[in-house]
Structure formats: C-alpha cells, structure tokens
Amino acid sequence: DYRARAALVMAPFLTDFSGEELRGCVADAYAEQKFSGPPAPLSSPESGVWFLELWHGPTCAFKDMALQLLPRLLTLSLGKIRSQKGALILVATSGDTGKAALEGFRDVKGTRVAVFYPQNGVSALQERQMRTQRGGNVSVWAVRGNFDDAQTGVKKIFADGHIREETGKRGWMLSSANSINWGRLLPQIVYYFSAWCDLAASGAVRPGEPVDFCVPTGNFGDILAAYYAKKMGLPVGRLVCASNANNVLTEFLKTGVYDRNRRFYTTISPSMDILVSSNLERLLFDLTGGDGGRVAGWMAELARSGRYRV
C-alpha cells in the first residue's frame, strides 16, 4: 500500500511527528477522492521497461505527489511550535508546481500562496489551470522573463531581511512550495521505493536487484530524490538524467562544466526549460563530503560569470 510505504520511508526524517500523525497526513494527502486508484502505479509497454505513472493526482502533474502532502505537514508543524503567524507560501513555477501548489494549499487555514510563472513560458493549459484556480487564499502572477528569472526573484525575497521583517509584522512567515523546501523533496523519495517494491512483488526483480531510473530533469529535484533513495539503501543502478534542448545538466554531467551562458529554448516540455538547476547544489554538497565552502565558491562563480568547473 502506497500510503503505508510513504509513512515508513519518511518517518526517519520527521522525528517530531508521531507515527499516528504521519499516517494521518499521508492518508489525507493520498485519499481516494484525490487520486484515481493507486497514487503511483507502474505500467510496462515492453519487457524490461516500466513507466512510473505520477499523473493520477488532482492536477495531473507529478508534483501532486508532494504538494498534496506538504500543506498537511506544514500546518501540523506550525501547530507544534504554537506559531502565531500564518505561512505565506511563495512559488516559482514553470508550470507543474504552480497549479499543484495552488490546489494543495487551496483554502488551507493559516496559509496564503502566491505563484509566479514566466509569461509565455508555460503551456496554455497550465496557464489556464493556474489563472482559474479557486480558493480564498491563492494568487497568481505572470513574470516578464523565463523560469530562472522567476526563481531568482523568489530567492531574493527569501534572502531580504527587510521583507522578512515586514512580513512578520503583518503576521506571516515566508515559506516555499518549491524543492528548496525539504518538505517538498522528501515525499518524492517515496515513489522510488514504492516502484521497486511493486517490481519485486510482481517478480520482475529479485530481492536486492538494482533498477535503473531515467528521469526527465529540469530543476534536478526529482532525480535528486532518486539519488537520496539510493543512499538510503534502495537497490538503484544507474540514474539517467534526461533533458531537452536546455541541456545544461546533461552537459555538466558529461564534462564537469556548468555553463548557463547559452540560448534559452522555450519547448513543449516547459518544466524542463531551466538553465539554473537549484537542486544540483545539494548533490555537489553531498559529493564533496559536506564541504559547504567549496560549493558556495562554485555558486558564487556561477552568479559572477555564469559558469563553473568541478
């Protein structure tokens, strides 16, 4: 059962939550009225190949897997610390995250959500989904620029002490529904475990047999979740980083040079139209043994010149 697996996988990271609380959050997030059938089933078009179907949530985006759960974890956390402030959720989106965040936080008590998306940089369907979102605590804003511009703007808000202070005076604390928030990334680890368990249960893989995962990649969060699953002990073989014309990540993995100084392409896969992948920083931090200074140097070089080499 996916819900039981989710509670089990996430429990070591959420030690301030009781088992009952965590199971309650998971049961609510992945309730049958929100997901049509199993939340993350497998299908096999040919022998030895499987698709992990992550589109069965309320917005048909894989981000539903995390963003139906995050609001429940966040509001429970606010209650535990007896916060007198609400949570103002800022979101930069290339399409999927925006609608999933709006739907996940819709009318959740003690929260407001503001989504920023690149004008002419999301699909027509995604834009309509966001602009027609119902809810008394939601707002949507188009940004003149691409996703990287929207993401950079949101990060600047989080880093601005004056804005944080003024927001606090008005009774709100800033938070994020992007993968810079660990609570967004953690639920994504679960479906890799669930996929392997389903394969093992069907006899498609033997106990301990590694499975390769090919992951369409933009901001590097989803494939990073697979990497963390492997570090937790899941039998993972190769992780294949799939890209579109904005192939800054695949080039980096081949050459060791990250270079955002290139043409930005608007493609039919807008969630992958990214030149500055935030979660790569987390991978580098892990691979350097937690050398924050070294990683910070690379990020400073990226901000200064648009490129760095590892």
Which residues are part of the catalytic machinery? 63
CA pair distance 58, 123, nearest whole angstrom: 18
Cα(91)–Cα(179) distance, rounded to whole angstroms?
10
CB 22 within 8 A of CB 15: no
Residue pair 56/63 in contact by the 8 Å Cβ criterion:
no
Helices marked H in the chain — which ranges? Answer: 2-10, 19-29, 64-67, 70-80, 96-105, 124-131, 147-159, 161-169, 182-202, 221-231, 248-255, 280-287, 292-305
Neighbour tally for 125: CB within 10 Å = 11
SS3 43: strand
Phi, psi of 111 (to 5 degrees): -135, 155
Q: Check if the beta carbon of residue 105 is closer than 8 Å to that of residue 71.
A: yes
Name the token pair of 176.
């994020």
